[in-house]
């Protein structure tokens, strides 16, 4: 029984990894080798594709832009979601359930609907082609998610802790920062992971709201695909590099992820 389970799991992991291996494999080949025929591993191992990316500013600035707005978005989402999640987990107030549902519907609204109005909204307030515009736009789907996950974590913290702290003379802000936030540390980690992930993988809004100064890497890539034939090697190398930041983040939160879901409202 256990052998069968392990075998099934291994098969699935193989299924996940083979396409990624193929991308990695291609990123180390020259274009002539890629188009010349099928080889299971690079015959002439080359780092030229990566060199193109690290020396051309339009490529590496794409990465920096993406990282910049993703971090900004994660930070904003966490800052506004923390107090709100506390309110939802501890108090009942006028319209709380409807507000919560309304927040979730924004998570579900298809970005395709919002593209043009978003473009005009951010142009009209002079934020078009800035990092903060993309960060704010991504809040639309990240803030509701952050509130949702954090609320689950906070409900798991006994209420007596709050009451004891208030009796001991803590004010609300002091209690929140000194006592409460350390208690839900892993929750914040998991939430940050999810915000990072959804902001990092999003293409449509990021591409619509930027043109030159804040152009994200995903948009740089689409441009390369459509113009002047396809440079498969560089494309593959760029793809490999987009996977790395995510892997770094999952490495940091790997022990919290499972716990995070289990504790939550979910």
Partner 1 sequence: MNKVINNKAWWLVLPVFLLVAFSAILPMMTVVNYSVQDIFDASTRTFVGVEWYQQVLQNERLHDSLLRQFIFSACVLLIEIPLGIAIALCMPTKGRWASACLIVMAIPLLIPWNVIGTIWQIFGRADIGLLGWTLSELGISYNYAANTMDAWVTVLVMDVWHWTSLVALLCYSGLRAIPDVYYQAARIDRASAWAVFRHIQLPKMKSVLLIAVMLRFMDSFMIYTEPFVLTGGGPGNATTFLSQTLTKMAVGQFDLGPAAAFSLVYFLIILLVSWAFYTAMTHNDQQR
Partner 2 sequence: MEWMAWTPVTAAFFGGIALLLVGMTVWEIRSPCVERRGFLPIATTRGDRLFIGLLGSAYLHLLVVGVTDWSTWIASALSVVWLLVVMRWG
| Residues forming the site for partner 2 (CB under 8 A) | 94-95, 97-98, 117, 120-121, 123-124
Q: Given candidates 3, 212, 227, 247, which one binds partner 1 under the rule CB under 8 A?
A: 247
199 closest CA partner among 245, 154, 161, 164: 245
How many Å separate Cα 117 from the centre of its chain? Answer: 23
Whichever of 71 and 80 has its CB closer to partner 1, that residue is 80
Stretch that binds partner 1, among 21-29, 45-53, 54-62, 178-186 (CB under 8 A): 21-29
Q: What is the DSSP string of 131-170?
A: HHHHHHHHHHHHHHHHHHHHHHHHHTS-HHHHHHHHHTT-
**Among candidates 169, 209, 193, which has minimal Cα distance to 248?**
193
**From partner 1, partner 2, none, which one binds at residue 225 (CB under 5 to 8 Å depending on kind)?**
partner 1
Cα(241)–Cα(251) distance, integer angstroms: 16
244/241 Cα distance (integer angstroms)? 5
Q: Which partner, partner 1, partner 2, none, binds residue 91 by CB below 5 to 8 Å per kind?
A: partner 1
Distances (CA, A) of 88 to 24, 49, 119, 174: 45, 50, 32, 19
Residues 6+ positions from 41 with CB-CB distance below 8 Å:
25
**The pair of three-digit structure tokens given for residue 53, joined into one six-digit string:** 């990316």
Binding mask 112-151 for partner 1 (x = CB under 8 A): xxxxxxx-xx--------------xx-xx--xx--x----
- Cα 233–chain centre separation: 26
Q: Does 167 help bind partner 1 (rule: CB under 8 A)?
A: no
Find the binder of partner 1 among 3, 55, 57, 94 (CB under 8 A).
Answer: 94
Partner from partner 2, partner 1, none contacting 98, C-beta within 5 to 8 A by type: partner 2
Choosing from 47, 48, 75, 104, the residue that interacts with partner 1 (CB under 8 A) is 104
Among 54, 159, 164, 223, binds partner 1 (CB under 8 A): 159
| Residues in region 44-73 near partner 1 by CB under 8 A | none
Q: Please tell me whether residue 93 binds partner 1 under the rule CB under 8 A.
A: yes
173 lies in the site for partner 1, by CB under 8 A = no
Place of tokens 């707005």: 69
Taking the least distance from each CB to partner 2, the nearer of 13 and 104 is 104
How large is the angle between the packed helices 131-155 and 111-124, nearest 10 degrees? 120
Q: Is 227 in the site for partner 1 (CB under 8 A)?
A: no
- Applying CB under 8 A, does 3 fall inside the site for partner 1? no
197 binds, among partner 2, partner 1, none (CB under 5 to 8 A by kind): partner 1
């Amino acid at each position: 029984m256990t052998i069968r389970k392990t075998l099934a799991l291994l098969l699935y992991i193989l299924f996940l990894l083979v396409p990624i291996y193929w991308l990695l494999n291609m990123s180390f080949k020259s274009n002539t080798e890629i188009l010349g025929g099928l080889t299971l591993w690079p015959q002439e191992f080359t780092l030229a594709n990566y060199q193109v990316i690290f020396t051309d500013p339009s490529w590496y600035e794409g990465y920096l832009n993406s990282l910049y707005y993703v971090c900004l978005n994660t930070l904003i989402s966490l800052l506004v979601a923390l107090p709100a999640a506390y309110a939802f987990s501890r108090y009942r107030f006028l319209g709380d359930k409807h507000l919560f549902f309304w927040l979730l519907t924004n998570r579900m609204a298809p970005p395709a609907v919002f593209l043009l109005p978003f473009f005009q909204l951010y142009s009209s307030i002079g934020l078009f082609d800035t990092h903060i515009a993309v960060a704010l736009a991504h809040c639309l789907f990240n803030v509701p998610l952050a509130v949702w996950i954090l609320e689950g974590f906070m409900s798991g913290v006994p209420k007596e802790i709050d009451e004891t702290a208030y009796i001991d003379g803590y004010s609300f802000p002091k209690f929140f920062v000194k006592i409460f936030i350390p208690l839900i540390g892993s929750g914040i980690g998991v939430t940050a992971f999810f915000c990072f992930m959804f902001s990092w993988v999003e293409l449509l809004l990021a591409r619509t709201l930027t043109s030159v100064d804040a152009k994200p890497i995903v948009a740089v890539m689409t441009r390369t695909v459509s113009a002047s034939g396809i440079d498969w090697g560089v494309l593959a190398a760029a793809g490999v590099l987009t996977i790395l930041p995510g892997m770094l983040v999952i490495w940091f939160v790997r022990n919290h992820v499972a716990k995070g879901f289990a504790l939550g409202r979910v």
